[in-house]
Structure 1
């Protein structure tokens, strides 16, 4: 099984990338690739830019990566209650290649933040919209108070209840 994991964040120290990586490590016998969406940075999408540029190579490469995967793990950072600008822009460009961005792949959707909300607003938006873009959401999990429930030095969830929930969610991708 090939799993593609990434954070919907362009932060170099993304806690969501840490969470997506930790989740992907819980899948036995999987070929896991953890992407950095910084590798797919493009100009801000607009119809005029699309007419001028066509489909940028970065959007095509991102769409191809999704297509090559058997399952997806995405962890969403929340900026002012919504998607990060970096992820939304990548998604917008990619959706112009094919509205079925997620290509029918089983998905585990995650979110986390330093605070008690755990980026649950953006997670709800992502889970609600994924089916419209051919995403098969198998599970979703918001991890509140990241630094109280995660050890960045070992890339592990330290809260036993959250770890159990994450392990259960990961098994649904198979």
Structure 2
């Protein structure tokens, strides 16, 4: 039974981590650009938005580095090494999930649910809306990845490997 799911894990893990890296690069670009503009012109809507944009910049860098490393290690070790164990993935993805939930919720709260770019709007309104949207996309992706790792953790525990077991049986 597990060999049937192993095929999906061999394909799905690199795809999921690749999507996390891809969308994080987009988010990093937006948040770095906004941070540079806010620092240069001091025209941020509030200090809260400025600080949360910086936190999103950190979350993006964290995700690019972590997901890139996990994707590379998984491809090199075929998911059987201790570095690519279920527990290791779960720890990274849980931290990433918390970061993106915090980032997306806090920037949404700072914008009072969202920005309207009609009429009198803050500077860089479109970029700020894109930043908020991509933060939520990254939270959804990390939620999906975390749920898959939890399911693999249950399967690894049932087969007796525990959380030290690999993603692939």
| TM-score scaled by length of structure 2 | 0.30
* Structure with higher RCO (Cα < 8 A, 6+ apart): 2
